[in-house]
């Protein structure tokens, strides 16, 4: 008997990516993924056995893509502040391109969905640790002023990531005016807007220079 196509698991995961932002963990069904992919549900179970295993693979695949790019930016040559700037741009682009999926994962984790909670607990320390190391190195280089580590981290995340995930939902829901939707991409989600927010946030964390008072 011929073995199922090895490419079918990738096709099922691609369908899962397309459906997950609308359904989340609880709402994603085996049948919906199989139908979207044009496969028999039996093939889903052949490749992944259970929906939870499928969700774990799906979320981890997305994360590893982001983390590989983030690690690459952090490992570049040059001053820590510039490597931090590059890592933040990677993170911002990922949040922009996957903002609906990220919002759904966070909502699922807050609601206690086991797969989402497990995913967050396993992976959040990885990118958190990488960014904190860059922040510490930039402080040692004198590019950032001494501040509590998490204070600096949440300042950067509030400037770079949160506007992409939560402001986009606000624009769709509460501010569903066409003008706001037109302005969202150039003013919030474009590479230029990302770069500007990163520069502003890092400038806010930079050492302050005392102003000389003339008498």
- The pLDDT score that the predictor gives to residue 164 is 85
Please indicate, yes or no, whether residues 162 and 122 belong to a single structural domain of this protein: yes
What is the Cα–Cα distance from 39 to 36, expressed in whole angstroms? 8
- The pLDDT score that the predictor gives to residue 187 is 85
For 145, half-sphere exposure in the C-beta direction (CA atoms, 13 angstrom radius) is 8
> Into how many domains does the chain fold?
2
Asked, for residue 214, whether it belongs to a domain, the answer is no
Q: Which residues contact 69 (CB under 8 A, 6 or more apart)?
A: 90, 94
Q: DSSP of 145-179, one letter per residue?
A: ----HHHHHHHHHHHHTHIIIIIHHHHHHTT--HH
Residue 33 sits in a domain of what CATH number?
Answer: 1.10.10.60
Residue with tokens 């930016």: 73
Please indicate, yes or no, whether residues 133 and 44 belong to a single structural domain of this protein: no
Q: DSSP of 82-138, one letter per residue?
A: HHHHHHHHHHHHHHHHTHHHHHHHHHHHHTT-HHHHHHHHHHHHHHHHHHHHHHHHH
60 Cα distance to chain centroid: 12
Query: Going residue by residue through the chain (215 aa), what tens digit of pLDDT does each one get?
Result: 345 566 899 999 999 999 999 999 999 999 999 999 999 999 999 999 999 999 999 999 999 999 999 999 999 999 999 999 999 999 999 999 998 899 899 999 999 999 999 999 999 999 999 999 999 999 999 999 999 999 999 999 999 988 887 765 665 555 555 666 777 778 888 999 999 999 999 999 999 854 444 44
Please indicate, yes or no, whether residues 102 and 129 belong to a single structural domain of this protein: yes
Asked, for residue 213, whether it belongs to a domain, the answer is no
DSSP letter assigned to residue 111: T
Please indicate, yes or no, whether residues 17 and 72 belong to a single structural domain of this protein: no
Please indicate, yes or no, whether residues 156 and 182 belong to a single structural domain of this protein: yes
- The pLDDT score that the predictor gives to residue 211 is 41
- The pLDDT score that the predictor gives to residue 184 is 77
Last residue of a domain, one of 49, 74, 89: 49
Please indicate, yes or no, whether residues 9 and 64 belong to a single structural domain of this protein: no
Q: Which residues contact 22 (CB under 8 A, 6 or more apart)?
A: 100
Please indicate, yes or no, whether residues 99 and 40 belong to a single structural domain of this protein: no
DSSP letter assigned to residue 63: H
- The pLDDT score that the predictor gives to residue 183 is 78
Asked, for residue 123, whether it belongs to a domain, the answer is yes
Please indicate, yes or no, whether residues 45 and 81 belong to a single structural domain of this protein: no
Residue 118 sits in a domain of what CATH number?
Answer: 1.10.357
**Largest Cα–Cα separation, the chain:** 92
Q: Judge residue 171's burial from the number of C-beta atoms within 10 Å of its C-beta, 0-12 exposed, 13-18 middle, 19 or more buried.
A: middle
Please indicate, yes or no, whether residues 13 and 98 belong to a single structural domain of this protein: no
Asked, for residue 31, whether it belongs to a domain, the answer is yes
Asked, for residue 19, whether it belongs to a domain, the answer is yes
Long-range contacts of 3-8 (CB under 8 A, 24+ apart): 4/43, 4/46, 4/47, 8/37, 8/39, 8/43, 8/47
Give residue 34's domain range: 1-49
Please indicate, yes or no, whether residues 115 and 140 belong to a single structural domain of this protein: yes
Please indicate, yes or no, whether residues 115 and 191 belong to a single structural domain of this protein: yes
Please indicate, yes or no, whether residues 85 and 188 belong to a single structural domain of this protein: yes
């Amino acid at each position: 008997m011929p073995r199922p196509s090895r490419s079918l698991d990738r096709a099922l995961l691609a369908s899962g990516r397309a459906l997950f932002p609308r359904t989340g963990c609880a709402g994603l069904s085996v049948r919906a993924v199989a139908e979207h992919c044009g496969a028999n549900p039996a093939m889903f179970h052949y490749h992944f056995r259970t929906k939870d295993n499928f969700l774990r693979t799906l979320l981890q695949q997305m994360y590893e893509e982001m983390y590989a790019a983030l690690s690459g930016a952090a490992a570049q040559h040059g001053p820590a502040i510039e490597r931090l700037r590059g890592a933040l741009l990677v993170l911002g682009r990922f949040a922009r391109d996957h903002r609906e999926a990220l919002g759904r994962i966070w909502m699922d984790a807050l609601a206690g969905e086991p797969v989402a909670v497990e995913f967050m607990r396993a992976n959040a320390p990885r990118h958190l640790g990488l960014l904190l190391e860059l922040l510490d190195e930039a402080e040692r280089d004198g590019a950032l002023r001494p501040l509590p580590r998490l204070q600096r981290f949440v300042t950067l995340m509030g400037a770079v990531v949160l506007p992409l995930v939560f402001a986009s939902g606000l624009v769709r829901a509460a501010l569903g005016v066409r003008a706001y939707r037109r302005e969202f991409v150039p003013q919030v989600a474009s590479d230029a807007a990302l770069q500007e927010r990163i520069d502003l946030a890092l400038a806010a964390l930079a050492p302050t220079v005392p102003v000389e008072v003339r008498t």
